[in-house]
Amino acid sequence: MKTSDRKIDAGAEEPAGARVLSFDEALALLLARARKVKGIDRVPLTEATGRILAEPVLSSVAVPPLDNSGMDGYAVRCADVAEAGSVLRVAQRIAAGSVGQPLEAGTAARIFTGAPVPPGADAVVMQEYCEVRDGGRIVINRVPDPGENVRMSGEDIGDGTEVLAAGTVLTPAAIGMAASVGIAELPVMRRLSVGVVSTGSELVTPGEPLSEGQIYNSNRYQLVGILTDLGCEVTDYEPLPDDFEATRRLLRKAGALHDLVITSGGVSVGEEDHVKPAVEAEGELQMYNVAVKPGKPLAFGKVGDADFAGLPGNPVSVFVTFHMLIRPFVRKCQGASRILPEARQMVAGFEWSKPGNRREFLRVRVGADGRLERYPNQSSGVLTSCLWADGLADVAIGRKVSPGDTLDYIRFSEMP
């Protein structure tokens, strides 16, 4: 991502004691505080999906282990097929999983895909170029090149080659790679333990009736879902009412049990915002304003021995702030080798005529014409925009956008 948000509005309102940071400064601060989890688990391949590899994996075998056929056809010696129409005797049949005998001059071997190429053969002719004759003979109607349709030993992976680097997020493809070199279990980082706490007396659990002035709690479920997808060990605490002592007790408990505690809401300086004083009572807290939209307020510190992150209360602010700031922090704590999202250049198909004094992450998606479409309502309370979008457009401070302009685009599905 580009450093495009250095200009800060010096006159912006901020909570007492809060510093105003650019987005890049806030990200750098968080990453500097990230502590890699200690401890390694060894897990079978069937339980490794989504985990972070703790040590490099080296292959103890060559893949493929033997020269083998890439086609169904006939293994031949090129010297025996000097011209199209050459006739050879079929001396053997080699299927996958079996081993042939050395190929004698003037003979061919019927061979199938994946079967070892017999010693002496240096090409495989596809069966479509061969005619079977009586007496166990074939006519070769194509002059092969040496090595044709032969997959050489070790051409995919050499013996002793590093096939997976430490810090790799273990996708199904990575696990398949480990299996292909005979690895049965993998060393992975211990799961990052995260406690999720949402605050506010107005919050109601989905499925329960709403009273006047209440809203359903969406932040709790989106945070738990994202963290679970990231391979964290998540404790989902019941929402806290606006009460200082209750907040302090739960944060003390969560801080003793987890590597990281994340809250949503309650970090402002109002009379009913109790997270800030509760964290200060149980640990340490730094309050910041980040020149980013959505998601201006950010709290970070410690509760007991656990790191603490306090996110805003609006659901879109939680979504964007987590993905752009907290997600890289989590990945670094997990020991992942790739922690930052990579932006690609995309053409805007929309207009944005509201330049602001904060760097903006607009909810967008790629349209049928290949250009970015913007969700019409970019309010921090419109969670529909996050469901509709497939990524974020990074708009620098003070910038207007016109159709045809190029923007940095960060796709959700490609985030580390």
List the chain pLDDT tens, one digit each, 416 residues.
543 443 333 333 444 456 789 999 999 999 999 999 999 999 999 999 999 999 999 998 999 999 999 999 999 999 999 999 999 999 999 999 999 999 999 999 999 999 999 999 999 999 999 999 999 999 999 999 999 999 999 999 999 999 999 999 999 999 999 999 999 999 999 999 999 999 888 888 999 999 998 999 999 999 999 999 999 999 999 988 888 999 999 999 999 999 999 999 866 555 456 788 899 999 999 888 899 999 888 899 999 999 999 998 899 999 999 999 999 999 999 999 999 999 999 999 999 998 889 999 999 999 999 999 999 999 998 999 999 999 999 999 999 999 999 999 999 999 99
Distances (CA, A) of 202 to 205, 264, 272: 10, 13, 11
Count of domains observed in the chain: 3
3-class state of residue 246 by DSSP: helix
The answer for 97, left when phi > 0, alpha when psi is -120 to 50, beta otherwise, is left
129 shares its domain with 272? no
pLDDT at position 130:
97
Separation between Cα atoms, residue 402 and residue 254, nearest integer Å:
47
Q: Are residues 400 and 352 in the same domain?
A: yes
What's the DSSP call for residue 183? -
Helix (H, G, I), strand (E, B) or coil at 139: strand
> Largest Cα–Cα distance in the chain?
98
Query: Which sign, positive or negative, has the C-alpha torsion 60, 61, 62, 63?
Result: negative
Looking only at the bridges linking them, the beta strands covering 297-303 and 344-347 are: unpaired
Structural domain of 53: 44-61+159-189
Cα distances (Å, whole numbers) of residue 120 to 100, 165, 327? 11, 38, 56
Residues 8 and 124 reside in one and the same domain: no
Check the CA dihedral 68-70-72-73 and report its sign: negative
CB contact at 8 A, 344 and 397: no
Give the CATH number for residue 177: 3.90.105.10
**Of 207, 223, 273, 220, residue with least CA distance to 244:** 273
Helix/strand/coil for 225: helix
Specify the pLDDT at position 297.
Answer: 85
Q: Are 63 and 157 in contact (CB under 8 A)?
A: yes
250 with 346, same domain: the answer is yes
- Asked if residues 190 and 40 have their Cβ atoms less than 8 Å apart, the reply is yes
What distance, in Å, lies between the first and last C-alpha atoms of the chain? 14
Q: Are residues 213 and 181 in the same domain?
A: no
Count CB neighbours of 16 within 10 A.
6
Same domain, 329 and 404: yes
CA distance 300 to 288: 8
270 with 378, same domain: the answer is: yes
The domain that holds 108 is classified in CATH as 2.170.190.11
> Are residues 209 and 134 part of one domain?
no
State whether the Cα torsion 402-404-407-410 is positive or negative: positive
Last residue of a domain, one of 189, 211, 235: 189
Boundary-marking domain end, from 124, 151, 178: 151
Contact 116, 68 (CB under 8 A): yes
Which CATH number does the domain housing residue 387 bear? 3.40.980.10
Query: Among the three residues 167, 189, 211, which one is the final residue of a domain in this structure?
Result: 189
CA distance 268 to 311: 10
Q: Is the omega angle on the peptide bond into residue 64 within 30 degrees of 0, that is, cis?
A: yes
Same domain? 337 vs 264: yes
- Please check whether residues 266 and 403 belong to one and the same domain: yes
Residue 183 and residue 198 in one domain: no
Same domain, 115 and 247: no
